[in-house]
A and B are shown apart, each in its own frame.
Chain A
Amino acid sequence: MFFLADFNVIRPDFGLLFWTSLIFILFWLLIGKFAFKPIAQALRKREDDIQGALDEAKAAREEMANLKAENEKILVQAREERASILKEAKEAKTQMISEAKEGAKVEANKILNSAKAEIENQKKQALSDIKNQVGIMALDIAEKVIKKDLKSDSNQQSFVESLVNDIKMN
C-alpha cells in the first residue's frame, strides 16, 4: 500500500475555509470593481451605441424617404404649376392678341372715321371754295363781259371759250 488516505475532502478544515473566503472575497470585490463592472458598463455602452447607431440609421432612412416623397410632391406641384402657368400664359396671349385686334380695329375705325370726316370736310371746303371761286369767276366774267363790248359773235365765242378754259384750269 502506498498511501493511507481517508475521505477527508468532506471535512472542511479551518485553513481552507479561511483562505477560500479571503481569496474569493478579494477576487469578488477587486476584480468586480476593476474588471467585471467596467466590462459590463463598456458592453452596455457599446450596446447603447450600436442601438443608437441603428436607430439613427433608421431615422435617417425614414427622413430620406420623407424627403424623397416631399421632393416628389414638390416636383409634381412644380409640374402642375408650370402647366398652369403655361395655360395662363396661353390664355393671356390669346386674350392679349384678341384685345390688340379689337383695339386695332377700333383704332382703324376711328382713323377711318376721322379720315372720312376729314375728307368730307375737305370736300365741303373744296366745294365751298369752288363755289366761292365760281362766284368770283362768274363775277369776273360778268365784269369782263360787261366791260368789253360784245362786238362779234366770233369774238364772243372765243371769249366765252377762254373764260371756260380758265374755269377748267381752276
Chain B
Amino acid sequence: MSPMTDLGLRFVRRPGPGGRAANLAALGATAVVALLLTFLVAGSLGLVHRSDRIGWRGADKADPASAIGAIGQTEETVDGRQVLRIDLATMRPNQLPPPPGLDHTPKPGEVFVSPELAKHWPGPKPTGVISDKGLSSPEELVVIRGVARVDDPQYVSSWRDSVMDSRMVGLLIAVAFGITLVLFPILSLVGQAAGVAAKRREHRLAALRLAGATRTQVLWLSAVEQAVVGLAGAVVGLVGYTVLSPLIARIPLGGGRWYVHDITVSWWLVLVVLVAVPILSVISALIGLGRVSITPLGVVRGQTRKATSALRLGLLVIGPVVLGIYGMKAAVIPLMIGVGMAALAVRVVGPWAVQLIGKTMAGLANGPVALLAGRRLADDPKGAFRPVAALVLSGFVTGFISVFMPNGQGQDEATFHDLRIGVALLLSLVFLTVAASTAAGAVGTALDQAAPARALRRSGVPLQVIERSARVAAVVPVIGVGLPVVGFGALCGLALSGGKIVTQGNSGVLLLIGQVVAGLVLVAVAGAAGAPVLRKASAN
C-alpha cells in the first residue's frame, strides 16, 4: 500500500477536529444520492417489468395467419368497480405455453380473474386466479375469459410481446423527463456531499502541499478518503432503499401499487451503485480540491475569489428557444435537451445572482446579521448556491409543470392520476435531495465558521447573531433566486406548449404555493442541522 493510500485511510479512521461531523454529513448526503439513483433506475426497470408481463394484452396487429391468439378488451363494472375484461381466443392452444400468469390456456367458457377481483367476484367460482406473472399490479382488476371467437379482434403473435400500452409509454416519457429534471439536483447533492468533507481537508492538504507533497499525491489522498466515504454512503443508501422497498411499492403509480419484486434491486444494479456513487463523489471532491492542489497558499490565506461573469445570463435564452422551436410535437430527445439546457442555465446563473444579491445586501446592511450574511453570499456564491441549488431547480420543475396540470375532468382520468402522483413523487425526490443538500451544506458552513465564530463569541458577540446570519445566508438565495426561477420554469413550459396554458382550475396555483411554502420550511428545518455543530465547534 502506498504511503498516501495509508495516510488517506488513516485520515478516514481519525478525521481530526470537526472531521467526524463532516464525514457523517458527507456519508448521509451520499447515502441519499445512492438511494435516489437506485430508486430512479429500479423504478424505471420496474415499469418495464410491469409492462413486459402484460405486453401481450396490447396486441401487435399480427398477421392472423401467424397469430397465436385473438383478443378483445372491454371495460366493465363489477360490484361497482372498473374492471378490464379480456376475451381471448387462442389459435393453437396445444402447441404453445399458456399466457403469462395462467396455469393453462383458457378454453372457451373458462374464466381467470386477478386476486383482487377474486375477492369481489359475484359470479360462479372462476376457473383460476391469475398469478403475479400476468398482472401489472397486485391491485389490478382484470378478468381473462376464454372465447371461441372475438368480435373485432386484435391479433397476438407472442405472449412475450413487449408492446407497451399508451399509459406505460406516457409514464416512461414522464420518468425520462423526471430524471432529466432531478439529474442536476442529484449531481449538486453529490458535489455538496463531497464538498463538506473536502472543505475539512483543504487546510490539511494545503499544509501537505506546503510540506512538499506533489499535486498527484494530494489528489490521490483525497480520492482515497472520498472513495471510502462514498462507498460507505452507497452501502447505506442501498440498505435504505431495500428497507424502504415495501413502502415504495405502495405508491399507486401507473395502475396501482407495485409488486416488491418489480422494484427489488438486481445484483448488477447493486454493483453499478457501489461503483458509480464513489466514483461520482471522488470526481466531485477532486474538482473542489483543484484550488488546493494548484495554489495551496490561496486556500490557506483565504484570498478573494474571482467574480462570476454576467455572461452566464446568456445561457437562459437557449432552453426556452429550443423548447419553443420544437414545441409539443417534438421527439423526446430534443425536448429533454431543451429542458436540460434550461436546468443547466439555472445552475450556472444561480451563483451569479447569489453574488449580486450578496453584494447588494452587504452594501445596504445596517445590522451585523445582514452584513455577515451578505458578505458570505458575495464571498462564495457557488458555495452558498450549492446547498439550495436542488430547491431552486425544483422551483424550475414546479414552474414548468404548473403549466401542464389538467384537472381530470373531461380528460383521461388515469393519465391525470398518474400525472398527479408523478408530480408529487418528483417533488418528493427533489425535496429529499434538498433536505440532504441543505443539511450537509449547513454542517459544512458551521465547521468552516467554527474558529472565527469562537473568537466572536469570546469577544461578546452572541451566538444567535452568527446563527441568524447563517440562516439568512441559506434562505436568501432560495427567495432571491428561487422565485424568479419558478417564473423561468413556467416560461419554458409555455415555450414548449406554444403559449397555451394546459392547466385548468387552481391546481397549478396550489402546486406553486405548496412548493414555495414547503421549500422555505424545508430549508429552515434542514438548515438547523448546522446549529448544534456550530454551537459545539465554537464553544469556549
Partners in one complex: no
Which residue numbers of B lie inside 8 Å of A, CB to CB? none
